[in-house]
Amino acid sequence: MITQRQVFLQHMAQTTSFPLSLEIERAEGLYLYDTSGKKYMDLISGISVSNVGHRHPKVVNAIQLQLEKYLHLMVYGEYIQSPQVQLAQWLSNHLPEALNCSYFVNSGSEAIEGALKLAKRLTGKTEIISFNNAYHGSTTGALSVGGNENFKNAFRPLLPDVRILEFNNTEQFKLLSLNNTACILVEPIQGEAGIIPATKEFLIALRSLCDENNCLLIFDEIQSGAGRTGKLFAFEHYQIVPDILCIAKGMGGGMPIGAFISSHQNMQALTNNPMLGHITTFGGHPVSCAASKAAFELLYEETLLTQIPAKEHLFRSLLQHPTIKEIRGKGLLLALQFDSFENTKKIIDTCIQNGVITDWFLFCDNAMRIAPPLTITETQIKDACAVILNAIETIG
């Protein structure tokens, strides 16, 4: 009989020739269990998704309640569906006035696509500025504004009028002309570059550039949002409000959903000339919206957010070793910097063998990702760090 592993390799399109290939049977909280019963700590949350842990009972309950009522009813934007309405209201209540209107989609890439279209429509301009080593998604538009040439070159021609600037460099702004710039798209904390926080100076400069040149500031908080850095959204650390906020991943509590968020006035640009300026069949699926509201409530109301600085501190204080060159990041979005890809890979492989799942980054192969469910406890952090330190010692 053909095994699941064989079907996976032969009948499912592969994204690399070396998939992790763990065969997970169930998941609960911080833990994944494979088909042999082996237990793993998930230190990466399915890449910043399981922020409230796997199958949090309140998320599961919200999903079950919605399953009793309805699944898909109609394409986005036509019917008044309570799970969508309630999520939009929750977001509007917890975001600044300039971000009071949500457009729900299915993924991070789609949130970026919608945001770029909105910026072009609102400004009547065409250029998009983004930054080196940025990752914004894999659809054609999102790929076009990514900051890694290696990933892009095989797929050209991509979107025209994209200018890639250097992240965290304000010097380059002195001679910058933004006459035809619709928007500046930035991750306040770059994820796939290896967790590189923007400096406050850099984001303030971007805000001023946009204000002075009638262009929109778009924050990609697909990875840094939904509580991961200790605030609901990372922009709150910087006291800067973007014109458009893109979110996804952790907002769904494990269900697929994304959103681009702006002001009600701005969003009207997608309603007329042409009408239906952005449409989606499944965007804001009622089950995903119900799960998302439950996840946001958990983050906010059960003091998960307020515990994050102490958890970050514990990781930072335990992970002291000469092999760790630097610990970067904010909250529970951290990177351990090593000296080479070879050592990083050996450490990660050993961690996984010893029951701690972690990985590296798309554009940074000599650092290790630490982005566990935010529900991780002090004892679990100590256990995970012991496994990591042990792996570092093993590779010598």
State how far the alpha carbon of 12 is from the alpha carbons of 3, 32, 46, in Å. Answer: 13, 22, 19
Binding mask 306-325 for ligand PMP (x = CB under 6 A): --------------------
DSSP bridge partners of 216 = 183
Q: Which of 62, 129, 222, 327: binder of ligand PMP (CB under 6 A)? A: 222
Task: State in angstroms the smallest separation of the CB of 124 from ligand PMP.
Answer: 26
CA distance 200 to 203: 5
Task: State in angstroms the smallest separation of the CB of 136 from ligand PMP.
Answer: 5
Q: What is the C-alpha radius of gyration for the chain, rounded to an integer number of angstroms?
A: 21
Q: What angle do CA 182, 248, 359 make, to 5 degrees?
A: 110
> In this chain, which stretch among 123-131, 147-155, 184-192, 387-395 interacts with ligand PMP, using CB under 6 A?
184-192
Burial (Cβ within 10 Å: 0-12, 13-18, ≥19) of residue 392:
buried
Task: Please choose, from the candidates 184, 189, 180, the residue with its C-alpha nearest in 3D space to the C-alpha of residue 164.
Answer: 184
Q: Which of 107, 292, 344, 358: binder of ligand PMP (CB under 6 A)? A: 107
Q: Is residue 285 near ligand PMP by the rule CB under 6 A? A: no
Place of tokens 């996804």: 248
Judged by beta carbon, residue 220 or residue 243, the one nearer ligand PMP is 220
Q: Which of 29, 141, 188, 191: binder of ligand PMP (CB under 6 A)? A: 191
Task: State in angstroms the smallest separation of the CB of 133 from ligand PMP.
Answer: 11
Judged by beta carbon, residue 47 or residue 389, the one nearer ligand PMP is 47
Burial (Cβ within 10 Å: 0-12, 13-18, ≥19) of residue 4:
exposed
> In this chain, which stretch among 11-19, 105-113, 267-275, 279-287 interacts with ligand PMP, using CB under 6 A?
105-113
Judged by beta carbon, residue 195 or residue 385, the one nearer ligand PMP is 195
Task: State in angstroms the smallest separation of the CB of 222 from ligand PMP.
Answer: 4
Task: State in angstroms the smallest separation of the CB of 310 from ligand PMP.
Answer: 25
Q: Is residue 146 near ligand PMP by the rule CB under 6 A? A: no
> In this chain, which stretch among 103-111, 229-237, 308-316, 374-382 interacts with ligand PMP, using CB under 6 A?
103-111
Q: Is residue 235 near ligand PMP by the rule CB under 6 A? A: no
Task: State in angstroms the smallest separation of the CB of 38 from ligand PMP.
Answer: 26
Kind of pairing between the strands at 127-131 and 367-370: unpaired
CA trace torsion 25, 28, 30, 31 (10° rounding):
-30
Q: Which of 54, 121, 136, 311: binder of ligand PMP (CB under 6 A)? A: 136
Task: State in angstroms the smallest separation of the CB of 224 from ligand PMP.
Answer: 7
CA distance 95 to 108: 19
Q: Which of 42, 113, 127, 187: binder of ligand PMP (CB under 6 A)? A: 187
Task: State in angstroms the smallest separation of the CB of 191 from ligand PMP.
Answer: 4
Task: Please choose, from the candidates 268, 247, 242, 279, the residue with its C-alpha nearest in 3D space to the C-alpha of residue 122.
Answer: 268
Judged by beta carbon, residue 108 or residue 284, the one nearer ligand PMP is 108
State how far the alpha carbon of 25 is from the alpha carbons of 36, 40, 52, 62, in Å. Answer: 9, 12, 19, 22
Question: Reduced to 3 states, what is the DSSP secondary structure of residue 154?
Answer: helix
User: Please, which of residues 20-59 interact with ligand PMP by CB under 6 A?
Assistant: 47
Q: Does residue 173 contact residue 304 with C-beta atoms inside 8 Å?
A: no
Q: Is residue 220 near ligand PMP by the rule CB under 6 A? A: yes
Q: Is residue 135 near ligand PMP by the rule CB under 6 A? A: yes
Alpha helices, DSSP H, located in the chain: 4-11, 45-48, 57-67, 82-94, 108-123, 140-144, 149-152, 200-212, 235-238, 264-267, 286-301, 304-318, 341-353, 378-395
Which residues of the chain form contacts with ligand PMP (CB under 6 A)?
47, 107-109, 135-137, 187, 191-192, 220, 222-223, 248
